[in-house]
Amino acid sequence: MIKGSFIENLGRVYAMYTGGFLVFIILMAILEQFGVGANTIGICFVAFTVVIYAVIGWLSRTMQVEAYYVAGREVPAVYNGMATAADWMSGASFVALAGGIYFGGYGYLGFIVGWTGGYVLVNSLMAPYLRKFGCYTVPDFIGTRYGGNLARFCAIVVLVVASFTYVTAQINASGTIAARALHIPFEAGVWVGLLGILLCSMLGGMRAVTWTQVAQYIVLIIAYLAPVIWMSNKQGFGIIPHFSYGDAVLRIQELEPLVSLGTAATEGAPFGGVRILTTPHNDPQGGMDSWKFVTLALCMMTGTASLPHILMRYFTTPSVRAARKSVAFSLFFIFLLYFTAPALATLTKLQLLDPTLPTAIIGQSFEAVKSLAWVQNWESVQMLWLSDSNGDGILQLNEFFMRPDIVVLATPEIAGLPYVVSGLVAAGGLAAAMSTADGLLLAIANALSHDLYYKIIDPKADTRHRLIVARVLLIVIGALAAIIASLQLTGILGAVAWAFCFAASGLFFPLVLGVWWKRANTQGAIAGMVFGFVAGSAYLYYVFPGGMGGTPWFGIDHLRFAIIGMPVSLVAMVVVSLMTPAPDAETQAMVDEVRVPSGKTILGAAH
């Protein structure tokens, strides 16, 4: 079906795919009208989309090194932008972001600025140069630029720690969604999620992941935008809510004192994970608030520019210019979701708070709220809890507990949209979690198979051997991640922020200075990676409540420990580089060559 001319036919193939998906949604809506149950519709959405991804994965199978590691370097910029956006937007972005804004207010918005602004760093400091280099993996760049197996090995360690921290959170998210949609226990859901992820990536490596990620982006963006726009129209917030929800922000600020925002709950919920709303929607205090905001944004930005699963997406474009162009499209596609999330959080909050709206629950009769269908649905799965603790028969703000994750998932029900929309949202969340997990697992397995096995352990291994090793590693690492995910050790958000901080502490300066400072040498890079990574990890251990539980210095808590790791990395790298001999003429010429956008890559094809 797909041969040779596939790249030229991309537009048609994905237009047909999108059309097919829309037809599927309409079909489900019709079935719902005929009385097909909500559970069946949920199962259909999840099963249909996962089967499609698996088919794409199977069609893209390959036994060529170049296709397996970098998708044959023939992915057009716009499609690579979509694939990167899916790779980037994880279960956390899709499910937890709007909930985080709902509960976290101004402070949480640091993630929004950080996770978009980071692409400016990717574009100006990293992507074009790494593409020119022609590497297969990020440690490949470190290993060749600085020379020596030790530097390569340090990069592998940082990559594995950062990506592994991240991937368990994604498998956890895909397991949660699969479990809910298919009505199986969470532990089984995790393995179903992993199976889907491996089907997409195992046979075709980067090529298969690329084309499934494009498909997953289309599903996830439709699933995110459609409910928000639908809800906005239904509730009279405007056709496109994004530019008109300013009034809603002001109205929430008006309502907050009226509903006694900030009053602590008088009793706790009988199960974990749920919380009441205590933080104002838009009330930056300046000073410490501003400091916490910018440090969080900075960590997320430098983390973005150092996370290998993102950087390696730019190795798949045909040219340096296409790599830059695809960074621009990546950010544009990501932006579509990120500027929707605050609108979603604001409108959902307003609907629950504003007594003049029919959807309001705060300040309404306790019994009436308790018998709402969506409240009962989510209460039965322990995502929501309410209790009339002062016994006045009215639901107060501090009597309404909710898990942040359900803001996105429950919004269609709160607004009274048909169930088909909830099924769509579940499919979108699963697409987001699966696509990110795919990219991360591949980043880890490729670094281990290409850099550790082929470059360090057995440089004489033939192609077949290398690709078999890569696939075995993919399965082993996926299984390890699934085992850890099924233990449910960390919350989704915490693990994601850690991954960014690990990557920024260990890899940011060695990568940037590799291009921008010719004098940087092997010893310096090793020192930068080791000291930065160790300092960041040590501080994390010091400050994390589960570790030593120390008092954060200047409000630098466990979400932003790269603020400690990065300066240590920079200083160590510069000092050690200057104390040791400058790199040889050959390396300096190589750096000059990296800065020239045209011409052959530094590393030959199929190196």
Q: From CA 511, how far away is CA 559, in angstroms rounded?
A: 22
Size of the site for other proteins (CB under 8 A): 58
Q: Which residue's CB is nearer to other proteins, number 551 or number 598?
A: 598
* Residue 110 binding other proteins, by CB under 8 A: yes
The correct pick among 80, 116, 212, 449 for binding other proteins (CB under 8 A) is 116
* Residue 244 binding other proteins, by CB under 8 A: yes
* Residue 522 binding other proteins, by CB under 8 A: no
The correct pick among 45, 53, 103, 119 for binding other proteins (CB under 8 A) is 119
* Residue 120 binding other proteins, by CB under 8 A: yes
* Residue 243 binding other proteins, by CB under 8 A: yes
The correct pick among 106, 211, 315, 544 for binding other proteins (CB under 8 A) is 106
Q: Which residue's CB is nearer to other proteins, number 464 or number 595?
A: 595
- Shortest CB 249 distance to other proteins, Å: 6
Q: How many CB atoms lie within 10 A of CB 458?
A: 13
Residues 6+ apart with CB under 8 A from 555: 288, 291, 292, 295
Residues 6+ apart with CB under 8 A from 34: none
Torsion of CA 572, 578, 580, 582, to 10 degrees: 120
Q: From CA 332, how far away is CA 297, in angstroms rounded?
A: 19
CA 376 to chain centre: 30
Q: How many CB atoms lie within 10 A of CB 418?
A: 16
* Residue 117 binding other proteins, by CB under 8 A: yes
Q: Which residue's CB is nearer to other proteins, number 297 or number 447?
A: 297
The correct pick among 456, 597, 603, 607 for binding other proteins (CB under 8 A) is 597
Q: Which residue's CB is nearer to other proteins, number 545 or number 604?
A: 604
- Shortest CB 226 distance to other proteins, Å: 20
The correct pick among 113, 150, 182, 188 for binding other proteins (CB under 8 A) is 113
- Shortest CB 167 distance to other proteins, Å: 27
CA-based nearest residue to 84, from 477, 602, 439: 439
Q: Which residue's CB is nearer to other proteins, number 238 or number 552?
A: 238
CA-based nearest residue to 173, from 90, 278, 76: 90
User: 301 vs 119, 123, 499, 562, CA distance in Å?
Assistant: 7, 12, 12, 11
User: Tokens at residue 427, please?
Assistant: 């499919």
Q: Which residue's CB is nearer to other proteins, number 239 or number 264?
A: 239
* Residue 595 binding other proteins, by CB under 8 A: yes
Segment holding 594, helix H or strand E: helix 585-594
Judged on CB neighbours under 10 Å (0-12, 13-18, 19+), 504 is: buried
Question: Which residues, numbered 314-353, are part of the site for other proteins (CB under 8 A)?
Answer: 318-322, 324-325, 327-328, 331-332, 335, 338-339, 342-343
Segment contacting other proteins by CB under 8 A, of 119-127, 197-205, 207-215, 528-536:
119-127
* Residue 133 binding other proteins, by CB under 8 A: no
Per-residue string for binding with other proteins, 263-302, x by CB under 8 A?
Answer: -------------------x-xxx--xx--xx--xx--x-
Q: Which residue's CB is nearer to other proteins, number 106 or number 531?
A: 106
Q: From CA 249, how far away is CA 55, in angstroms rounded?
A: 44
Residues 6+ apart with CB under 8 A from 415: 227, 230, 231, 234, 235, 351, 359
* Residue 600 binding other proteins, by CB under 8 A: yes
Q: Which residues of 229-267 are buried (b: 16+ CB within 10 A; e: fewer)?
A: bbbbeebebbeebbeebeebbebbeebbeebebeeebee
Q: Which residue's CB is nearer to other proteins, number 85 or number 424?
A: 85
